[in-house]
């Protein structure tokens, strides 16, 4: 599996299968680790660049990674993960 879009879609459907906890920090750590394995082989990596820009524009905050920005505007880590998938699906269309 080299397609990050397909991977995120699979995580959204069954997060417990991929994440140790239902948190945005666990997702960020998983995705960062996944990208390190074969960075040149990843398909659709540009979606993470678009996501960062979209999150910055959506919340009006720059200088932080997408996970920290979403967490700042969420009740907790669990809520932030759910919000991530909402924002991700908005840019995926």
Ordered by start, the domain boundaries in the chain are 4-92
The helix (run of H) or strand (run of E) holding residue 40 is none
**CA-CA distance, 75 to 70, in Å (whole number)?**
10
For 24, counting Cβ atoms within 10 Å of its Cβ (0-12 exposed, 13-18 middle, 19+ buried), the class is buried
* Residue among 33, 1, 28, 32 at smallest CA distance from 15: 28
pTM for the full predicted model: 0.93
Q: Which residue has the higher pLDDT, 42 or 77?
A: 77
Contact 68, 13 (CB under 8 A): no
pLDDT in tens, 64-87: 999 999 999 999 999 999 999 999
């Amino acid at each position: 599996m080299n397609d990050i879009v397909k991977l995120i879609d699979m995580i959204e459907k069954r997060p417990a299968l991929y994440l140790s906890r239902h948190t945005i920090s666990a997702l960020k750590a998983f995705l960062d680790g996944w990208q390190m394995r074969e960075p040149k082989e990843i398909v659709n990596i540009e979606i993470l660049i678009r996501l960062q820009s979209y999150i910055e524009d959506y919340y009006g905050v720059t200088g932080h990674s997408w996970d920290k920005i979403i967490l700042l505007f969420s009740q907790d880590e669990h809520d932030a993960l759910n919000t991530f998938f909402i924002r991700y699906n908005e840019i995926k269309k």
